[in-house]
Structure 1
Amino acid sequence: MTDTQPAPHLIGGHEHTGPEAMYANDLASRHLGITLDDHGDGHATCSMTVTETMVNGHGITHGGYVFLFADTTFAMACNSIGSVTVASGGDITFLRPSRTGDTLTAHGKRVAATGRSGIYDVEVFRGDELIAVYRGRSRTLPAPPAGR
């Protein structure tokens, strides 16, 4: 670890220092085929292809999967700042449906931060069409005491 690298935190028994480490241990997101495409200071981009097991009885993507996808992108954006950060809340507005075979892309970015609290917006797209907007509230965990 250098002076420019964040000190690792232990979450669930795993050291996390950024989105790549978090993604490597995120079995739920990886199982659904969510990929971490890009990230930087306070932002992240992820993608996911809708599979037949993700659709509801109306033949459109179940809202829970769209929420999970947006929430994962939010988590990657939050944790791109170098500290372990978790959600304190989140909500989503669905604008348009998606269906089996659609590739969704989500762009998340920090819009406000005060102390250990932050607000992030995530826009979910199907191609060029905005299909959902998510707002997440974050809380950065305090660094563990020295020697732990």
Structure 2
Amino acid sequence: MTSKELAKACAQKMWAQDTASQELGMVLNDVDAGEARISMRVTKTMANGHGTCHGGYIFTLADSAFAFACNTYNQVTVAQQCSVTFLAPAHVDDRLTAEAREQSRSGRSGLYDVTITNQHGDKIAEFRGNSRTTKGTILPV
């Protein structure tokens, strides 16, 4: 099995159980070893008191992309620490895309950067996540 095939198989298994991402209308667009791209349309129920997308939804989109990127090696991997910097507002009906890329992976620790953009390519936020591999596999070995 190639690294891309392994990444896709892991993603399919995780996606089948990820009701949080699915219920928010997220779409898993692509996955490869250490990478994932997920998109989501901002709905009116995601708007805050300023009429823009609540930051928690943007964080959740980024966190989902991070999770799929760091779980592409068939090792159960969880978030150890995450942070987000909001750069511009997202609006109702915007299509947001989170692209996660592995920066470093050594031993049980990983470092991932996620860029969130809107349908025009404008940067909405930057997210950084530290991962930690735990016991277990996603797929049977």
Same fold (TM over 0.5): yes
The answer to whether 1:22 aligns with 2:20 is no
1:133 pairs, out of 102, 107, 126, with: 126
1:85 pairs, out of 58, 73, 77, with: 77
**AA partner of residue 133 (structure 2):** T
**AA partner of residue 44 (structure 1):** A
Structure holding more helix per residue = 2
Do the aligned partners of 1:42 and 1:77 also contact (CA within 8 Å) in 2?
A: yes
**AA partner of residue 100 (structure 1):** V
Deviations 1:107-144 (A, max 9, x none): 00110112010000000000211110000010111348
Which protein, 1 or 2, shows the higher relative CO under an 8 Å CA cutoff with sep ≥ 6? 2
Task: Give the match for residue 61 of structure 1.
Answer: 53
Using the alignment, how far apart are the partners of 2:28 and 2:76 within structure 1? 17
Q: TM-score, normalised by structure 1?
A: 0.84
The answer to whether 1:119 aligns with 2:111 is yes
Deviations 1:6-31 (A, max 9, x none): 7xxxxxxxxxx611111110111100
Partner of 2:21: helix, strand, or coil? helix
Deviations 1:52-94 (A, max 9, x none): 0001000000000000000000000011122111101100000
Using the alignment, how far apart are the partners of 1:72 and 1:143 within structure 2? 20
Using the alignment, how far apart are the partners of 1:25 and 1:120 within structure 2? 22
Task: Give the match for residue 13 of structure 1.
Answer: none
Q: Give the share of equivalent positions with the same residue, in percent.
A: 45
1:36 pairs, out of 20, 23, 28, with: 28
Q: Which runs of 4+ in 1 moved over 3 A?
A: none
**AA partner of residue 126 (structure 2):** V
Count residues with an aligned counterpart.
132
Deviates more, 1:96-105 or 1:77-86: 77-86
Choose 1 or 2 for highest CA Rg.
Answer: 1
